Amino acid sequence: MTGPAKTQGKPKSNHRFTPKPKPSTPQEAVPTLTFGPSNNWIDFTKKMKIAAGDRFGRLGDFITQGVHYVPPLPVPDMSIVDSVMRDEVLKADYRERAKTINKLNTEKPMLYVFITSKLSAESEDELKRHPSYRTIDDDKDPLNLWKALESLHLITIVSKNLDI
């Protein structure tokens, strides 16, 4: 009787060390925001900026700018000689600006929910303890949420070296 056949070649790989699959979208690449002295605020901010820009366009600019994007006011095109035609073009530009503002305002709650979906349980608990949490949650404003998260998670390091 013959024994079991021996397998030749590479030994089976240990599954603990197999790399995680790469995320297919920027939204999937955003890590869960952790809380504490060794939190991941910097990495979270970088990846959230990319994901928010990819999914929500200019609405995500508040992450780096600190304010919501507001489209500039239209300027009359003085190269159009006919004043009636110039006014019609200007009205169309104002309508387009109003549509953009409405779209931005409509998407604010969606971005708010996206950001809150990336919070760890500890971060969410700390956010709920924030003095402005009720207002932030009622308004569903991602900028105010971001400022609160930043105040809770951004850790400044002060040197204890007196020679500086």
Residue 139 lies in a domain: yes
- pLDDT at res. 154: 84
Instruction: Give me the amino acid identity at 52.
Output: A
Residue 132 lies in a domain: yes
Instruction: Please say whether the beta carbons of 162 and 150 come within 8 A.
Output: no
Residue 59 lies in a domain: yes
Sign of CA dihedral 146, 148, 153, 155: positive
Average pLDDT over residues 136-141: 95
Tokens read off for 152? 């809770």
| Pairwise CA distance, residues 129 & 102, whole Å | 32
The number of distinct structural domains making up the chain is: 1
Residue with tokens 């600190």: 66
Residue 106 lies in a domain: yes
Of 3 and 150, which is predicted with more confidence? 150
| Pairwise CA distance, residues 41 & 123, whole Å | 11
DSSP 15: G
> Residue 38 — very low, low, confident or very high, per pLDDT cuts 50/70/90?
confident
> Residue 134 — very low, low, confident or very high, per pLDDT cuts 50/70/90?
very high
Residue 119 lies in a domain: yes
Residue 92 lies in a domain: yes
- pLDDT at res. 156: 56
Whole-number average pLDDT of the chain: 86
- pLDDT at res. 24: 76
Of 148 and 26, which is predicted with more confidence? 148
Average pLDDT over residues 116-126: 95
Residue 12 lies in a domain: no
Residue 20 lies in a domain: no
Instruction: Please say whether the beta carbons of 74 and 51 come within 8 A.
Output: no
DSSP SS3 for 57: helix
- pLDDT at res. 159: 47
Q: Which helix (H) or strand (E) holds 76?
A: none
pTM of the model as a whole: 0.76
Range of the domain at 120: 36-153
